[in-house]
Structure 1
């Protein structure tokens, strides 16, 4: 049955099966997303533990915690601190929590997990690290957390900024 060309292609027996070429992606896999300000960022897929879509009321606010933190959520029995990534990076635009679900990107390093709440997850893309350029025209509050940027659209001057999830996790900003 498996050797039958009809099984492979749904064509008649008198036609040869079509072979599809698999493309080998170049570069590394990254998750692309937007923060509340409308700027686009990327994180290496290797540093992402999971992507969680949660209703805002499932994030429990914690009194006397850093103002960057939205609260905690329980994901499969594990408590994850959730932060507004845009606010952490220094943007004044706060994440809109008046919606049905908030995308949270859970990053992890050496057993430490943090949820980064973002405005919209675009998806995963293969990007080549050779095309990355040094970040330009960025605020000092963001600089320690960037590895560089890709030019997405040179006409509109749109860039995709690559974040360093380990620098975000280990930041002293969480203590304030």
Structure 2
């Protein structure tokens, strides 16, 4: 800035600043991610406590628990159970744990926290709930945990499925 000649001579002071219009996002903020099957899902940002990229060896396996659970991890002094979300939803492919880091989405409701291990996190997006449709062609194993879906690519029939994180947390499947 000091090396800028306009800074030293006050040149350009008479110019009006460019006004930029900020777009107001419509809808609500959601986190988008993929499970091992390649299907894309979303969770409302308001239900997400944190996103953790964790090395697989930092997730401690626990014997005699549901096969859906990968184990626990210690995040800032709090023990978080970590589950393979794809398996929980009924997909047969196991999460690949032979990699440097596993993305874990920690969701919370009424003091209960659960880490959902996913294949890849895409990022956040503003989505409108008015555009959500009833989920079609949904396996019975997944239906209780979906709030609906958005059409992402009509040509290829791709959808973005909205998960109900509270239904996932409160599921009886964790006891199995």
TM-score (norm 1): 0.93
Which residue of the partner structure matches residue 104 of structure 1? 104
Matched, 1:29 2:29: yes
CA offset digits 1:44-94 (Å, max 9, x no partner): 000000000000000000001100000000000000000000000000011
SS at 2:173's partner residue?
helix
**Matched residues, number:** 168
The residue number in structure 2 matching 1:93 is 93
C-alpha RMSD over aligned residues: 1.2
Gaps of 5+ in 2: 1-5
Matching residue of 2:130: 130
Question: 1:15 deviation in Å?
Answer: 1.8
- Matched residue, 1:3: none
- 2-structure distance, mates of 1:156, 1:95: 25
- State the partner residue of 1:39: 39
CA deviation after TM superposition for structure 1 residue 22, in Å: 1.3
Structure 2 equivalent of residue 158 of structure 1: 158
Aligned equivalent of 1:146: 146
Deviation at 1:124, TM superposition (A): 0.6
The secondary structure found in structure 1 opposite 2:49 is: strand
Structure 1: which 5+ residue stretches go unaligned? 1-5
In structure 2, C-alpha distance between the alignment counterparts of 1:130 and 1:93, rounded to whole Å: 33
Q: Which residue of 1 aligns with 2:170?
A: 170
CA distance in 1, matches of 2:13, 2:110: 56
Normalised by the length of structure 2, the TM-score is 0.93
Tell me what 2:3 maps to.
Answer: none
State whether structure 2 residue 59 is matched by structure 1 residue 59.
yes
**Deviation per residue, 1:157-176 (Å, 9 max, x gap):** 00000000000000000000
